Amino acid sequence: MKKEVGFLLLLFVQAVAASTFRTSDLSEIQITTEKSDQNHPTVYGSTVVWDDWRDGYLSIRGRDLSAGKEIQITIKAHTQSFNTIYGNTVVWEDDRNGKRDIYGYNFLTSTEIQITTNKNYQLHPAIFGNIVVWEDDRNGNWDIYGYNLSTSKEFRITKDKGDQLYPAIYGNIVVWGDDRNGNSDIYGYDLSTSREFQITTDESAQIIPEIYGNIVVWDDLRNGYLDNNKFVNWDIYGYDLSTSREFQITANRSDQILPAIYGNIVVWEDRRNGNSDIYGYDLSTSCEFQITTDGNDQKSPAIYGNTVVWEDNRNGDWDIYGAALAIDFSRFVSQEAHFFLEMGKKEFDRREYEAALDLFQLAREKYSSIDSEEKTAECDEWIEKCQVELEKGFCLGTYLLTLCILLGVLFTVRRS
């Protein structure tokens, strides 16, 4: 059974390399087979991470699809949940201290890090590059806070007295659901300019946004109606930050919720068939497509590159499944790499060499993955510059420490 799963995972990873999207090319794969619940998957590259119940409590586990290897990320017997991954870092909310904190884990160094230490609750983290954001109730309402993993600096993003919930981040832009106007709207914040802005103004509810590039997507109730005392017909809407244009993605008169986006592909959970399925939409062609057709429930999709993952109860418990979409995503990887390269240069100019090094390494990883040799070499040059500057700082610090010790010894000798 294990050999069969490993072989299927290999086929799955190979399918990810396909170049032109067609609905008929969907290659579905079962990722977990444990007889317990696995929920809330997230994905980056060939690594899928999820919340796992096999130990009798929620822990974070993952699988490297390219190696066919499962990874145990958390080992504390407490609730760790709502994970998300970017690059080599997984973050999650964790109740080991009697409340919810944000923790992280770095695959490269195999080290865990506590990101928040405030005595109140911190929930629903999101990550892009070296920036982690979350919702935080330390001020008596829910605000959005952030943390720079490279500089170990925490910062506050929102200050309005209403609640700001479920943040998402891409590049310098953070978005969230905001109830300051008496209903839930989508707001955003530009970290590079410290500017807050409103995205939605409709009087119905807009919640749980996601963002990729200039496109923000969310759950929207403007077309909703009452059915058995319950509002139904949530739709997926989007907004282009570069053109200030809002657009509707789904129009079916059932619930479409929990969108995720990568490049020009939006995926979501869809209830039009009497169960929950995963659907997708290609923004470049305005084409909608169905990803899952099983008669049981498939929920909580996530996407990175060609890989879509979700939780699935077709086997009587919740497992993690995935599908490979045959699309060419190299230009989107290149866009991300360019962002990290330019941000690294800015951090280098500010003499934040550790932060710059992290950003150049992220850029290099992405350029290398799409075989951009020239840009990979440019990243190598910047990485070397950072290492030289960090070595200078280390040598200077060692010299000053030695000087202080010698002066202290001299002072002690003279006094005696």
The per-residue pLDDT for 17 is: 36
Domain 332-415 fold is: Methane Monooxygenase Hydroxylase; Chain G, domain 1 (1.20.58)
The per-residue pLDDT for 414 is: 56
The per-residue pLDDT for 402 is: 55
Report the chain's C-alpha Rg in angstroms: 23
3-state SS, the chain, equals: CHHHHHHHHHHHHHHHCCCCCCHHHCEEEECCCCCCCEEEEEEECCEEEEEECCCCCCEEEEEECCCCEEEECCCCCCCEEEEEEECCEEEEEECCCCCCEEEEEECCCCEEEECCCCCCCEEEEEEECCEEEEEECCCCCCEEEEEECCCCEEEECCCCCCCEEEEEEECCEEEEEECCCCCCEEEEEECCCCEEEECCCCCCCEEEEEEECCEEEEEECCCCEEECCEEECCEEEEEECCCCEEEECCCCCCCEEEEEEECCEEEEEECCCCCCEEEEEECCCCEEEECCCCCCCEEEEEEECCEEEEEECCCCCCEEEEEECCCCCHHHHHHHHHHHHHHHHHHHHCCCHHHHHHHHHHHHHHHHHCCCHHHHHHHHHHHHHHHHHHHHHHHHHHHHHHHHHHHHHHHHHHHC
pTM of the complete model = 0.88
Integer angstrom CA distances of residue 6 from 71, 321, 366: 14, 14, 26
The per-residue pLDDT for 18 is: 35
> By CB neighbour count within 10 A (0-12 exposed, 13-18 middle, 19+ buried), where does 317 fall?
middle
User: Which residues in the chain come in under a pLDDT of 70?
Assistant: 1-25, 394-416
Domain 2-327 fold is: Neuraminidase (2.120.10)
Q: Give the HSE-up count for residue 230: Cα atoms under 13 Å, Cβ half-sphere.
A: 6
Integer angstrom CA distances of residue 98 from 121, 128, 133: 10, 27, 21
